[in-house]
Structures are given as C-alpha cells and as structure tokens.
Amino acid sequence: MYKDRINLYKTLEVKSNSKLLVYITGDRQGFETQIADDSLDFFINQLDKFGVSDKISLYLYTRGGLIHTAWNIINLILQFCKELEVIVPYKAYSAGTLLCLGANSIMMTKQAALGPIDPTIGANLNPLIPGQPLQSNTKAVGINKLDNSSR
C-alpha cells in the first residue's frame, strides 16, 4: 500500500506540475488528530527540502484544529512558492477550510467538502469542564464586545 500511495503522489505531482505536500489528520475513533503546532517542524523540514518552487500542491484531509496553526502553515508554504493549490479529496473542515482559503486555487473531488469556520479561543467565559481547555466561540466574544460598546 505504501508503494502504491507514493506512486500515486508522484503521478499527482507530474499531472499538477507542482511539488506535493500531503497533510492528513486522523478522524478514526480513538486516534483523532488535529491541525496543531507540532506539525510546523514537519512542514519546515519538507519545504526546506523542496526549496522555492513555482507551484506547491497541498493534499489536505482534516476535520480541523488550531486556527493560529493554520495561519502559520499557510504563510509558511506561501514563502516557498509563487502559486499554492490545495487538493481536497474528502474533508477540509474548520482550520482546514482556512488553509484552503489562503491558497490560489482549490481542487475538490465530487464528495469533498469544506466546513464552517467556527473558531474558538481560550477564555474564562465558559464554565470549567474537567479535562477540557477553556474555550469560547469567537462570534460570541465579538457579539459581547459589540453589546458592551453600545451601552
């Protein structure tokens, strides 16, 4: 399977006339992963190997993650190419959608989907749930700020 996947990646690079980055986060129950800061070093190492290219294609499958990491990843990749294409085979939700929006183009299959962008930020606005970080929807923070300023 690994050799088949590598051959498919090479074919995709040739057909898209680009360097291919593959970023997949898992959503299998019990093995979930998300876009997070620990992936930045992998991007840096791979992009350093590529060097500056005319075009990079990011093959992306994710249910989301940290929005500040998505911002860092997209800005990092854009330093290494003139054109960025994101290829979405199935899911690119939340922070994955933000990655897509930073690209020059998005290529999606028939069953591919982007998701709503509903970022959360750490705050003391929510009740404490054991084992969960304090988070609040940014829309709620924005609305509260507007409501407070109008008084």
pLDDT digits (tens, 9 = 90+) for 89-127: 999 999 999 999 999 999 999 999 998 876 665 555 555
Query: Any idea which residue has 């085979």 for tokens?
Result: 89
What's CA 93's distance to the chain center, in Å?
Answer: 8
Structure tokens at 19: 């360097």
| Interval 19-43: pLDDT, tens | 999 999 988 888 888 999 999 999 9
Q: What is the rounded CA–CA span in Å between residue 74 and residue 65?
A: 14
Task: Provide the residue type at 53 as one letter.
Answer: S
What is the pTM assigned to this prediction? 0.78
Contacts of 77 (CB under 8 A, 6+ apart): 21, 43, 47, 56, 58, 84
| Interval 56-77: pLDDT, tens | 999 999 999 998 899 999 999 9
Residue 4 confidence (pLDDT): 94
Three-state secondary structure call for residue 83: strand
**Backbone dihedral angles phi then psi of residue 38, each to the nearest 5 degrees:** -65, -10
Structure tokens at 128: 């404490």
Residue 33, CB half-sphere, CA atoms under 13 Å: how many? 11
Task: Provide the CATH number for the domain formed by 2-118 in this structure.
Answer: 3.90.226.10
Nearest to 96 by CA among 36, 18, 29, 31: 36
Structure tokens at 143: 């609305």
Every domain of the chain and the residues it spans: 2-118, 119-151
